[in-house]
Amino acid sequence: MDRNSYWYRYLWARHDVFFYIGVVSVASALIFTLSGGCLVKYKGIVLRSKDPKTFWQNVVMYYVIGFISLALYIYTGN
């Protein structure tokens, strides 16, 4: 993606939002991992001991969203 493309300018205009989303998402994933409970849509709080598959799927989703957001923040920060 070159610096004159539409998508690069679009991402650059939202540069700080990627940082905030990334930090909040990774922090949430760390808290969920350490506490053993995760907030899941339509199910409320899922505990690691009762439903480990759903718990880990959601924690990994938070990590992936966070790291992708931080990568976009670093990419557009050039």
What are the backbone angles phi and psi of residue 47, rounded to the nearest 5°?
-90, 145
Among 3, 7, 66, 56, CA closest to 32: 56
CA torsion 54-17-68-48 (nearest 10°) is -20
pLDDT of residue 5: 72
53 burial type by CB count under 10 A (0-12 exposed, 13-18 middle, 19+ buried): exposed
pLDDT of residue 76: 75
pLDDT in tens, 28-66: 999 999 999 998 888 889 999 999 999 999 999 999 999
Domain of residue 32, residue span? 6-76
- The answer to whether residue 1 sits within a structural domain is no
Note if the pTM is more than 0.75: yes
Q: How many domains does the chain have?
A: 1
